[in-house]
Structure 1
Amino acid sequence: MDPNSNQKDGGGGGFFASIASSISSFSSAMSKSVNGLIGYEGLEVVNPEGGTEDVEVEAQKGRWKQEDRDSYWRTMQKYIGSDVTSMVTLPVLIFEPMTMLQKMAELMEYSYLLELADECEDPHMRLVYAAAWFISIYVAVQRTWKPFNPILGETYELFNHHGISFIAEQVSHHPPMSAAHAENEHFVYDITSKVKTKFLGNSVDIYPVGRTRLVLKKSGVVLDLVPPPSKANNLIFGRTWVDSPGDMILTNLTTGDKVVLYFQPCGWFGAGRYEVDGYVYNAQEEPVLLMTGKCNEFMSYQPCDLEGEPTPGSELKEVWRAAELPKNDKFQYTHFAHKINSFDTAPKKLLPSDSRLRSDRLALEKGDLARAGSEKSRLEEKQRAEKKTREAKGDEFKPKWFDLTDEVSTTPWGELEIYRFNGKYAEHRAAVDSSDSSEELENKSMEFNPWQYDQLA
């Protein structure tokens, strides 16, 4: 969608009308029922590309072998309609060699946008840069492999990237919750992350019950993000793909300005897929700048009038473009995603609880699915053993780098307990960096250890 083309329409058309038209035109995706064709009740195969291909042929595509598909479906039938966030053991063949904590760090790839936002004097352009930064994560969200669920107490550190100090920690197991803190000279980023899911048979709805806060240091403004929900389609039958239809709302809590961007649902023959359109509004809720693009490729902006139409004589300018992707990458990784897994982005004397050290992740990265599966089971059993030990001792798990507060945030999908960065990680890192490096173990030789107790069955 090109807002410049709308300037030629005149009258009642234009950019604002095109958004409304898109919402109604792309309101439903092409779907075909598997029911009656291969004997599975209540399943749908949704093909974003449309076409006339036989649904049974489409259903057999994907990464599953027939026997694995049949077995998994028998196991999962009883969970239809349920939140399966932490109640189901999933086969390792659908995983990528990365944990959810690492995936949270992928948002840091285009952090240069926050440097631009922090240095910008125009309050509305600040929101353009910040909104583009939040949208950039959808390059990673479109990956169809599932990251490993972090073990309670697991951490991830990111180093050597734009001067950012990044630490994430798994702060709760039931329900699964993660917290992260990132900071450099331009910004402070904090998130308490929790998801709610609804399993629908061959798809799952994913609701981001989290709170995200971003502070730009120069101006001191505080930004709050509410992302859209997502849906993973064709989990068992067909080729898996992800859609994230709905509104993303970024609010400047300091001034009342905000950005509202609509992620269009995938329609017939892929129409509208990835397209994002919306406006930057001032505190009086008047449109000031329009934004348009594709969440997996680029975002652009342009001044607009009070009707939301591009200002005569103005130009559409690109604010962000995704980096070129590696060719034929097995896990659809970006170059930055590979860095996330690398010890090159790890600080000196990595925390032993770091995701990079997980034996199941390392085995999967080497292509050893059998070992990855057995190691995943071993770590999950050890986590259960630790829980029993903790309960027997009457202990309560306490994260190291984040503290549970009394604050409860209300989100569109439920209430959320807030964890706050306690500052101890900065003290730890300063102490390590000032120590004699010759006494430190090599990161690669360390053993994964997020455990609260030394001796576990």
Structure 2
Amino acid sequence: MASKDQKQGGGFFSSIASSLSNFGSAMHKSVNGLLGYDGLEVINPEGGKEDAEEEAQRGRWKKEERDSYWKMMHKYIGSDVTSMVSLPVLIFEPMTMLQRMAELMEYSYLLDQADGCEDPYLRLVYASSWAISVYYAYQRTWKPFNPILGETYEMANHGGITFIAEQVSHHPPMSAGHAENEHFIYDITSKLKTKFLGNSVDVYPIGRTRVTLKRDGVVLDLVPPPTKVNNLIFGRTWVDSLGEMIMTNLTTGDKIVLYFQPCGWFGAGRYEVDGYVYNAAEEPKILMTGKWNESLSYQPCDMEGEPLSGTELKEVWRVADVPKDDKFQYTYFAHKINSFDTAPKKLLASDSRLRPDRYALEKGDLSKAGSEKSSLEERQRAEKRNREANGHQFTPRWFDMTGEVTPTPWGDLEVYQYNGKYTQHRAASDSSDGIEEVDVRSIEFNPWQYGNLTTK
């Protein structure tokens, strides 16, 4: 149970402590010795009865591809592989990490409701539901492209929101994002830390997410749980998030602690989220329960965390309809994010939509996507050589480094702050109706700040 001290054992969420959910993780199928890959395991979240070899063959890799990948990757076991390895496009989706950041905006109406809510505890219910809503999309097993330094993604066509994200650092990979409408301001500095474990990878979100609700000036701070990607080489790849998500009202001291249950034997506990809203004195006020891939509900509770008599669970969020049998498991909103039809006027040439490798993969041309990806990576290395030879330092366009270093559960983070220049740029672009428009598809992808990008 996600109580304030993790000690309460009974009550509404006593099932969380069931032996099935907490006695070990998912069903593991050892493939030690299988095809020479000693020490790896296949995890079947459904707890099926297939033997290890049969289950192992269910992955997206052909045997020869698996052999090649393992030879390349086995030396990195135990390492952070965030930017160490150039990976084959076979495992990618036609989207970048900057676009994935924008997926948090799909259910932004929950933040609008939080801003309009006078009850401080219900406000946290809405805001935390918004934070959890993206996990349905994030269960996709395809890897997004790492952004090129200086790459951007902008969105100006959803719920009155203006969104801008920029890749502000290459080593370590870091992104910064800003979104705003009449109800809220969203700011994030994102940095991932990984631990490669052979057939799986642990992902730790070293980032800072802040939401400001405009009506009362309330500032909310979000700390998400880590994520594990299982069966990278063998078996059916699947994603699980486990541990605590904490959202704190920095203005009042109220907070919500939600516990993501790990996947247990035969899939027990998978997707389940439970927890409480606490006041500043750490007394439970509202309980929440649900599944991050389906819906979330809430109910007022007493000091022991039990539902108040005469109240009932009320649904606060439910996942929207999604396309059936989508190749990349995209939602309708993910398709909207990728679409040129929804790109803002006078799209920045550094926008992720324009990446030739991403676009080729979207069109199903893996060969071209691979060659374009290699070309972009080499141009990025060439720009770095050029920049360093001239004694220059990369400077983000839309975000400034603050000099602030904030601690997170998984490491310190250098914080970037939105500088307001994109708002001015977008206002100028939207008002310049006299300038002839160009087809955004004809714009050449150009995140580079330095010329003469020789690859020799």
TM range (shorter): over 0.9
- d(CA) in 2 for partners of 1:328, 1:16: 35
User: What count of residue pairs does the alignment treat as equivalent?
Assistant: 447
Letter of the 1:345 counterpart: T
Secondary structure at 2:140 match in 1:
coil
Shift of 1:438: 4.2
Q: Deviations over 1:86-111 (max 9, x none)?
A: 00010100000000000000000000
State the SS of the aligned residue for 1:77: helix
Instruction: Tell me the residue number matched to 1:4.
Output: none
- Quote the residue 1:279 is aligned against: 276
Residue of structure 2 equivalent to 1:158:
155
What are the Cα deviations for residues 198-254 of structure 1, in whole angstroms up to 9, with x where unaligned? Answer: 000000000000000000000111000000000000001111000111000000000
CA–CA distance in 1 between the matches of 2:419 and 2:66? Answer: 45
Q: Distance in 2 between matches of 1:299 and 1:356?
A: 32
Q: CA RMSD in A?
A: 1.3
| Partner Cα separation in structure 2 for residue 247 and residue 13 of structure 1 | 19
Please state how far the C-alpha of 1:28 moved relative to its aligned partner.
1.7
Aligned to 1:95: 92
CA distance in 2, matches of 1:287, 1:24: 24
Give the gaps of 5 or more residues in structure 1.
2-11
Displacement after TM superposition at 1:26 (Å): 5.2
Q: CA deviation at 1:456?
A: 1.1
* Structure 2 residue identity aligned to 1:256: G
Comparing 165-174 with 62-71, which one deviates more in the overlay?
62-71
- Spell out, residue by residue over 1:228-281, the C-alpha distance to the aligned partner (whole angstroms, 9 max, x if none): 000000001111000111000000000000000000000111110000000000
Amino acid at match of 2:287: L
**Equivalence for 1:359:** 356
**Alignment map for 1:123-202 (pairs within 5 Å):** 123-202=120-199
Q: Name whichever of 29-38 and 413-422 sits farther off.
A: 29-38
Answering whether residue 42 of structure 2 is matched by residue 45 of structure 1, we say yes
Deviations 1:356-381 (A, max 9, x none): 00000000000000000000000000
1: CA distance between counterparts of 2:19 and 2:406?
A: 33
TM-score normalized with structure 1 length: 0.96
**1:17 CA drift (Å):** 2.1
Single out whichever of 19-28 and 66-75 deviates more from structure 2.
Answer: 19-28
The partner residue of 1:213 within 207, 210, 217 is 210
Matches within 5 A, 1:69-80: 69-80=66-77
Which residues of 2 match residues 193-342 of structure 1 at below 5 A?
193-342=190-339
Q: For residues 15 and 95 of structure 2, what CA distance do their matches in structure 1 show?
A: 39
Contact 1:34–1:44 (Cα < 8 Å) also in 2: yes
Question: What is the SS of the residue equivalent to 1:439?
Answer: coil
Q: Name whichever of 77-86 and 42-51 sits farther off.
A: 42-51
Could you tell me how far 1:62 is from its partner in structure 2? 1.5
| Deviation (angstroms), 1:453 | 1.6
Distance 1:159 1:343 in 2: 12
Structure 2: runs of 5 or more not aligned: 2-8
Give the letter aligned to residue 205 of structure 1.
Answer: D
Q: Is the 8 A contact 2:22 2:262 kept in 1?
A: no
Mapped contact 1:231–1:242 kept (Cα < 8 A): yes
Q: Is the contact made by 1:203 and 1:235 (CA closer than 8 Å) also made in structure 2?
A: yes
Q: Are residues 1:403 and 2:386 paired?
A: no
Give me the whole-angstrom Cα distance separating, in 2, the residues matched to 1:384 and 1:127: 44
Q: Classify the secondary structure of the residue corresponding to 1:86.
A: coil
User: Percent of counterpart pairs with the same letter?
Assistant: 78
**Runs ≥4 residues deviating over 6 A:** none
Shift of 1:141: 1.1
Question: In structure 2, the residue corresponding to 1:14 is in which secondary structure?
Answer: coil
Q: Deviation of residue 312 (structure 1)? A: 1.1
TM-score, structure 2 length as denominator? 0.96
Separation of aligned partners in 2, 1:346 and 1:22: 50
Corresponding letter in the other structure for 1:380: E
8 Å contact from structure 1 (residues 26, 271) kept in 2 = no
Q: Is the Cα contact below 8 Å between 2:20 and 2:264 reproduced in 1?
A: no
Return 368-377 or 429-438, whichever deviates more: 429-438
SS of 1:127's partner is helix
Secondary structure of 1:381's match? helix
